[in-house]
Amino acid sequence: MSSRSAWRALHYSAKRRAFQSPAPYRCFSCARRAQEQPKSEHERMTHFGFSNVPESEKESRVGAVFSSVAASYDRMNDLMSLGVHRLWKDHFVRSLNPGSALPARDCDTPNQQGGGWTILDIAGGTGDIAFRMLDHATNINHDLETRVTISDINGDMLAEGRKRSLDTPYYNTRRLSFVEANAEHMPHIASESVDLYTVVFGIRNFTDKQAALNEAFRVLKPGGVFACMEFSKVDNPLFDAVYKRWNFSAIPLIGQVVAGDRDSYQYLVESIERFPSQEEFRDMIQTAGFMIPGRGFENLTGGIAAIHKGIKPIVKA
């Protein structure tokens, strides 16, 4: 073989080797599935966006997402709510009317009677809802006693909330506290000690949503209110098609351009799609033991989001 023929053979052989194993396409869900290793058949699985993962892994994966978006959380909600999440939150807080007079209950201690509300804000790390509730209690109901505990499983989200609290009158007061905890198991919160339990744009990320609802029922006082606002199912087919196209086409791309993080935004829109319907989630709340007022939910902006409420029954002796 001539030197020229030998060089040509080596050249084409190298080209074939170079193109035999192209790098896999970095689709968020596909990449997650490709990375998953076979698990024990006895290990319980759950969803992480459109992927199925072991329950033991979901918490850390969700934690990584929210650590990534903590500093841009409001911008993320602007994208996923088409900019109206602030109006929804204001309406949510007004509908609860924190700081208004509470009826006396047998479970109240002498210090609690007439002493403002005890509110537990779950997955509320950035303080967005907590600050609104304290403002409403203070400015609308002239109540200086209502207090909010912000609970979040993610330390980065809580750090963002603590930073934002510096610009509020509640910083370093007994009316506002922060705790890092898993909403599915809260032994540090006494049974029947909370007047209002709120969770806003958070419960869809929980590994065991029913366990969290059961825990909400435990910590609430009889007559206490569970209130949740979450992205939900759009009730108009045409609007639903437009909204889904926005979610799955635009939001991950904007996340890549604006925040340099396509994967986190891809997970978040997938998590909306996997969340139960309004009727299904209402039934889960009822299963936990709550009484459901009316039909149990209020759709916002055609069902892009929905407010769910449940009341812990008062059992008379």
Token code pair at residue 150: 């912000």
Expressed as residue numbers, the domain containing 307 is 62-311
Q: What is the torsion angle, in degrees rounded to the nearest 10, for the CA atoms of residue 217, residue 52, residue 59 and residue 43?
A: 80
Examine residue 191 and state whether it is found in any structural domain, yes or no: yes
Q: Which residues contact 141 (CB under 8 A, 6 or more apart)?
A: 97, 98, 99, 100
Domains: count for the chain: 1
Binding residues: 126, 152, 182-183
CA atoms in the 13 A half-sphere facing the CB of 159:
10
Considering the domain boundaries, does residue 200 fall inside one? Answer: yes
| Residue 188 counted as domain residue | yes
pLDDT of amino acid 36: 46
> Count of CB atoms within 10 A of residue 195's CB?
20
pLDDT of residue 18: 41
Q: Would you say residue 124 lies in a domain? A: yes
Distance between alpha carbon 167 and the CA centroid of its chain, in Å? 24
Note whether residue 49 is domain-resident. no
Q: Which helix (H) or strand (E) holds 241?
A: helix 237-245
**Per-residue pLDDT tens listing for the chain (317 residues):** 444 454 444 444 444 444 344 433 333 444 444 444 444 456 676 655 555 656 666 666 666 666 666 667 777 677 767 779 999 999 999 999 999 998 776 555 555 555 899 999 999 988 999 999 999 999 999 999 999 999 999 888 899 999 999 999 999 999 999 999 999 999 999 999 999 999 999 999 898 999 999 999 999 999 999 999 999 999 999 999 998 888 888 888 877 877 677 887 888 888 889 899 999 999 999 999 999 999 999 999 999 999 999 999 998 76
**What string of DSSP letters covers 89-155?**
HHHHHHHH-TTSPPPP-TT--TTTTTS--EEEEET-TT-HHHHHHHHHHHHTS--S--EEEEEES-H
Q: Which residues are annotated as a binding site for S-adenosyl-L-methionine?
A: 126, 152, 182-183
In a domain, residue 276? The reply is yes
* Predicted pLDDT at 45: 66
- Residue 270 sits in a domain whose CATH number is 3.40.50.150
